[in-house]
Amino acid sequence: MSLTFDLYVARRSWAHRVDPRVKLLFVVLGAVTMILFSNLLFMVAALAAVHLLTASAGTPRDRFSWVWRAMLPVNVLIPLLWTVFYPEGEVLFRVWVLRFTPLALARGLAVAARLDTIALICFFWLFTTDQMSIVRSLVKVGMPFEWGLVLAISLRYLPTIYGLYNVVADAQRARALDVSRGNIVTRLKSYLPILVAMLISALRTADQLGKALESRALGLEGVERTSLHEISFSKVDYLIAAWLVIAFAGAVVLRALGLFTHPWYPLA
């Protein structure tokens, strides 16, 4: 998965059928909601809920383990650093000048769980939405088509650029280039033949691609571009979007009431 740069999991689940704009709305409102609250219990419940949601979209187990591996530094460092640098409340034990308090640990765990949840919300979107649908949805919500095309081409060319790096590196190694020799400066310098050759190739490709797109009438003045695959809201999409907005409004009310803002006590 790490080499494809495409996290999409091709399935026929309910989540895949939902309009990508609704999923984008979920990402935005979900992330804002997570920032509104600070309670550990709330964070863990939200994390579990997003897990269930993502699993119900047919996401394979290895994607979950990939997410957790990616988030491991966050989950270790944030609770640890928070406990060490922001002690508050009753002290559990002391080591040298450091004070360890349950409240700081809870706050650190809550922050880590918040980031995990936001990450998983984003991954839910990426696991269930193919790259072109992502671009289409962004264009539909107001991004200029040219920007969307640039994004789509960038995503499309990431694996190509990675493949190009491998081929160019092989070609230079075949000419006895050794990038593993010497100190850090020497090593960095020895990457120049690879990077310059890559840059020249990439520029050449970009130039050819630009000409190819232009010769296929991209950017023709006076013509409104049509789309082969139109995305449109279904009844279910409207219902989900409405539910998301209502749920978010409820979250704002809870926040205004001061609930789920204490790390330990949900109703404090």
Considering only residues 10, 95, 97, 174, which one is a binding residue for another protein as defined by CB under 8 A?
174
Binding mask 192-231 for another protein (x = CB under 8 A): xxx-xx--xx--x---------------------------
Q: Which of residues 17-56 bind another protein (CB under 8 A)?
A: none
In whole angstroms, the minimum distance from the beta carbon of 110 to another protein comes to: 40
**Interface with another protein by CB under 8 A: which range of 12-20, 48-56, 135-143, 188-196?**
188-196
Shortest reach from residue 51's CB to another protein, in Å: 29
State yes or no: residue 75 binds another protein (CB under 8 A). Answer: no
For residue 194, the minimal CB distance to another protein (Å) is: 8
Site for another protein in 140-169 (CB under 8 A): 164, 167-168
**71 near another protein, rule: CB under 8 A:** no
Binding footprint of another protein, residue count (CB under 8 A): 20
Q: How many CB atoms lie within 10 A of CB 139?
A: 19
- 153 or 202, CB closer to another protein? 202
Three-state helix/strand/coil letters over the chain = CCCCCCCCCCCCCHHHHCCHHHHHHHHHHHHHHHHHCCCHHHHHHHHHHHHHHHHHCCCCHHHHHHHHHHHHHHHHHHHHHHHHHCCCCCCCEEECCEEECHHHHHHHHHHHHHHHHHHHHHHHHHHHCCHHHHHHHHHHCCCCHHHHHHHHHHHHHHHHHHHHHHHHHHHHHCCCCCCCCCCHHHHHHHCHHHHHHHHHHHHHHHHHHHHHHHHCCCCCCCCCCCCCCCCCCCHHHHHHHHHHHHHHHHHHHHHHCCCCCCCCCCCC
Q: Pick the piece of the chain touching another protein (CB under 8 A) from 79-87, 109-117, 171-179, 243-251.
A: 171-179
Closest to another protein by CB, 191 or 233: 191
User: Footprint of another protein on this chain (CB under 8 A)?
Assistant: 164, 167-168, 170-178, 192-194, 196-197, 200-201, 204
